[in-house]
Amino acid sequence: MRILLIGYGKMGKTIEQMALAKGHQIAGTIDHTNADTLSSYTPENTDVAIEFTHPEAAFGNISYCLTQGIPVVSGSTGWLDSYSDAVQLCLQNKGAFFYASNYSVGVNLFFHFNEYIASKMQAYKEYQVSIREIHHLQKVDKPSGTGITTAEGILASFPDLTGWAADDDSDNAKLNIISEREPDVVGTHIVTYESEVDKIELGHIAHSRAGFAEGALMAAEWLQGREGVYGMKDMLNL
């Protein structure tokens, strides 16, 4: 595949290495220094775009790909207020759009187990549930996209909770997502159910960015020849 890397930072560079090792070609790379060159990419020179940028840039990049007919895989977080607009654009243009807050297969298994555990734990009101996410100091958004997806998986089974709160345990009707930033942490997510007498935890710790890159490349390959809006549950049959 000829892959356009929109975002050539930590993720873009990890995906580039892995894509080349698998025999794919890099159609081009986009960062702040050459953002104006995005308009030179079309389905004639690009089979798929993989977009890992920034909350402010993601929707514009995805919109460009969908209106031009370039299948797009995005992993950017912090822009999901515009997700339904991206879905509309994809459907209007008969395009192909794949989105995941986290491309690691391990995290998607964690999401699956999280939903199952929440469906059991909702009956045990003595437990207080919370989420903790820990990331590197360069991360610009909080809570993490993965933290929010984890919260949504819990909230589906907890009708008494009215939503999630970012770093705020003052409202017991909200699921608190605690965000911590520490040097060099790739991505850690922990769900805790705590009572007076004990504690149950489910966690995922990423050792490197390889799992994210592998999943994004798998999604780019899987998206070839498809039309519509997809996520990891579709690809992994979870």
Ligand X SMILES: NC(=O)C1=CN([C@@H]2O[C@H](COP(=O)(O)OP(=O)(O)OC[C@H]3O[C@@H](n4cnc5c(N)ncnc54)[C@H](OP(=O)(O)O)[C@@H]3O)[C@@H](O)[C@H]2O)C=CC1
Q: Which residues are catalytic?
A: 135, 139
Q: Which does 135 bind (CB under 5 to 8 A by kind): ligand LZUJQKHR, ligand X, none?
A: ligand LZUJQKHR
Are 47 and 1 spatial neighbours (Cβ–Cβ below 8 Å)? yes
Q: Closest residue (Cβ) to ligand LZUJQKHR?
A: 187
Q: Kindly write out the interface string for residues 28-47 of this chain, putting x where it contacts ligand LZUJQKHR by CB under 6 A and - elsewhere.
A: --------------------
* List 13, 54, 112, 139, residue binding ligand LZUJQKHR (CB under 6 A): 139
Nearer to ligand LZUJQKHR, 41 or 110 (CB): 110
Stretch that binds ligand LZUJQKHR, among 12-20, 83-91, 108-116, 139-147 (CB under 6 A): 139-147
d(CA 227, CA 207) in angstroms, rounded, equals: 33
φ and ψ at 31, to 5 degrees? -140, -165
Neighbours of 104 (CB within 10 A): 23
Residues that bind ligand X (CB under 6 A): 7-12, 30-33, 35, 52-54, 57, 75-78, 100-103, 212
Closest CA to 28 of 54, 59, 63, 61: 61
Strand extents, DSSP E, the chain: 2-6, 25-30, 48-51, 72-74, 96-99, 128-135, 163-166, 174-181, 188-194, 199-205, 228-230
Among residues 9 and 106, whose Cβ is nearest to ligand X? Answer: 9
